[in-house]
Amino acid sequence: MTATDQQRADLLALRGALGSFATGVTIVTTRVEDADVGLTANSFSSVSLDPPMLLWSLAKTSSSHEAFMAAGHFAVHVLSVDQEHLSRRFASKDVDRFAGLPLERGPGDVPLLTGCAARFSCRSAFHYEGGDHTIFVGEIVGFDHTPTPPLVFHAGKYALAAPRAEPLGAADPARVPPTGFAEDLLGYLMGRAHHQLYDRMRSELAELGLGEREHFTLSVLGISDRRTLDEINAFTAYTGVTLTREAAADLESRGLVRCEPAEGGPRLSLTDAGQQALLRLVAAAKAIEVDALADLSEEEGRLLRHLLKRVIRTTDPGIPDLWASRQERS
Ligand SMILES: Cc1cc2nc3c(=O)[nH]c(=O)nc-3n(C[C@H](O)[C@H](O)[C@H](O)COP(=O)(O)O)c2cc1C
């Protein structure tokens, strides 16, 4: 390794170490000589409450450096979780960063972006030498904020801010019986959540005169039609419910599926009536889901799905991927 290779490796390692500090993401804007200027920055920090001050640092090589050195005012926008696209845009070269964005104007005619978690309008108070960066300290002359969760940046990637769950073991010891069956046992939590959700689904199914087995069958065929009994049972093996030839014949006699003879048993497909029943069940499932997640933010809902998918992957005994099987067929 040459000296420069070594220096480069050291720099990367330093960057990696600094990246272990999770930050929010901001866009800093200003206006100089009738031009709007702005860039993505995560070097933001609060400095002082009285007087109210903040800081951020800007690479001396940045095309915006001269403008911010000359600016009397700037604004710091703390991005919300759904503004990752703005962060990317304001970190890209050779794009019109402000094109098409709704703008308000702050002190010094500085452009103010909308939909942010927080915004701070500043009078440019001090510049400090900071190696290859200049540190800008601003006196906060105006601010606003919303309850929208912020965008997070950690280890070079965008991330989500989620409140920490109660630490394990924090459960009230008086509520842990001698068997150790505490109320935060994962199987209990997931099982109970499933049964409480599915209970409402059962009433919907009952109105259609259907049970779980029929529900699972229609659902499989709704994703990947023309499946044999064995294939349907392989996709739903995790439920412990099996579709028998008799049950398939019953679904056919009720006009919900069509059975064509095939090697090793009938091949089922949805009839129009089956499609209609399934549409109704999916609509009911969506309504149940909206009610179940009412207490969670959009981000928490996304995180819950993401974590459940990971648990499903980790515990998968080898169930074929139903959604992928659909692509294979089309
Ligand atoms: C998440 C993130 C944080 C950044 N933070 C800073 C920063 O604090 N200071 C800085 O000078 N550049 C930062 N950058 C880089 C600039 O946004 C980007 O390099 C710059 O805008 C490129 O164009 P320019 O030379 O026109 O400024 C960051 C980029 C990203 C994606």
Tell me which residue has tokens 């090793």.
Answer: 264
CB of 41 shorter than 6 A to ligand 1: yes
Closest by Cα among 32, 98, 96 to 68? 32
**195-228: pLDDT as tens digits:** 999 999 999 999 999 999 999 999 999 999 999 9
pLDDT at 229 over 60: yes
Compute the distance between CA of residue 183 and CA of residue 36 in angstroms, rounded to an integer: 55
Interhelix angle 186-207/272-292, nearest 10 degrees: 140
What single DSSP character describes residue 195?
Answer: H
Distance 26 CA to ligand 1 centre (A): 10
**Mean pLDDT value of segment 156-182:** 76
**44-97: pLDDT as tens digits:** 999 999 999 999 999 999 999 999 999 999 999 999 999 999 999 999 999 999
pLDDT at 329 over 70: no
* Band (327; pLDDT cuts 50, 70, 90): low
pLDDT value, residue 172: 75
How many of the other CB atoms lie within 10 Å of CB of 115? 14
* Band (181; pLDDT cuts 50, 70, 90): confident
CB of 63 shorter than 6 A to ligand 1: yes
CB neighbour class for 307 (10 Å; exposed up to 12, middle 13-18, buried from 19): exposed
Q: Which residues on adjacent β-strands are paired with residue 45?
A: 55
**Mean pLDDT value of segment 285-302:** 92
CB of 84 shorter than 6 A to ligand 1: no
The token pair at 270 is 């949805």
Q: Output the average pLDDT for the chain.
A: 93
Largest CA-CA distance found in the chain, in angstroms, rounded: 82
What single DSSP character describes residue 167?
Answer: P
196-202 contact pairs (CB < 8 A, 24+)? 197/288, 197/289, 197/292, 200/284, 200/288, 201/281, 201/284, 201/285, 201/288
Q: State which ligand 1 atom lies nearest to the alpha carbon of 93.
A: 23
* Band (326; pLDDT cuts 50, 70, 90): confident
Instruction: Look up residue 89 and give its amino acid.
Output: R
Closest by Cα among 273, 229, 243 to 255? 273
Select from 29, 40, 134 the residue to mutate for testing ligand 1; criterion: most ligand atoms less than 8 Å from CB.
40
Closest by Cα among 57, 61, 60, 50 to 28? 57
pLDDT at 149 over 60: yes
Compute the distance between CA of residue 242 and CA of residue 237 in angstroms, rounded to an integer: 8
CB of 19 shorter than 6 A to ligand 1: no
Distance 165 CA to ligand 1 centre (A): 33
CB of 67 shorter than 6 A to ligand 1: no
